Amino acid sequence: MTLKSEDFRCPSILLSGPVDYNMYNSFRQQLDAAPADELVAVELTTLGGDPEVARLMGEDIRLRSEWAPEQRIVFLGKAAIYSAGTTFMSFFARENRYLTRGTRLMIHERNISKTLQIEGSLTTCIASLQATLNEIHASIAIQNEGFENLIVGSKVTMDQVLERAPSNWYIEVSEALELGLIEGVV
């Protein structure tokens, strides 16, 4: 069932600002206090933040949905859903994703900032370089899992995401709806 604006009158969970551990703590308190027998709306506005915290929050949504499949948990993005916010949104089934008019999504690749200092025995140097490569490969795999979750049931292909994400793909609400990334606009 497609929801209307009045369904979001009193969201159970209100989140805004950077996706970080402070947001996670607030999220968990509100999720734990949310009524078990009503629609649970999660409202978010964010310019991004820690993708691992977004995944942590998303896993809480996934688990809650498995434990209480009769309860509907929906996402409402307002104004800006960038980066880690889009990662969090990807944990909601497409039919449970909504944006307000004028909202923009932003999808990009994960970033890394690391300085490598090569010093020591040659085998130690190789191990340090390999550890960094392993970190990058693992991060790409995690990133791509999130991209796959985001596009399930949409018209967007993984090739499109991988082509556009390196240069920050901004998606206006009408395009998100047309692409099937969300269920509706309120």
For residue 75, pLDDT beyond 90: yes
pLDDT of residue 1: 85
pLDDT, one tens digit per residue, over 104-120 is: 999 999 998 899 889 99
pLDDT in tens, 165-178: 999 999 999 999 99
What is the third-level CATH fold of 5-185? 2-enoyl-CoA Hydratase; Chain A, domain 1 (3.90.226)
Mean pLDDT of 51-72: 94
Given a cut of 90, whether residue 36 has pLDDT beyond it is: no
- The distance of Cα 52 from the centroid of its chain, to the nearest Å, equals 10
Describe the crossing of helices 122-151 and 51-67 by its angle, rounded to 10 degrees.
Answer: 50
Burial class (CB in 10 A: 0-12, 13-18, 19+), 113: exposed
Mean pLDDT for all residues in the chain: 96
pLDDT band at 88 (very low <50, low <70, confident <90, very high): very high
What are the tens digits of pLDDT across the range 146-162? 999 999 999 999 999 99
pTM of the model: 0.93
Q: Taking a C-beta distance cutoff of 8 angstroms, is the pair 156, 180 a contact?
A: yes
Across residues 33-39, what is the average pLDDT?
Answer: 91
**For 72-100, what is the mean pLDDT?**
97
- How much of the chain, in percent, has pLDDT values that exceed 70? 100
Neighbouring residues of 134: CB distance < 8 A, sequence distance ≥ 6: none
Q: How many CA atoms lie within 13 A of 2 on its CB side?
A: 7
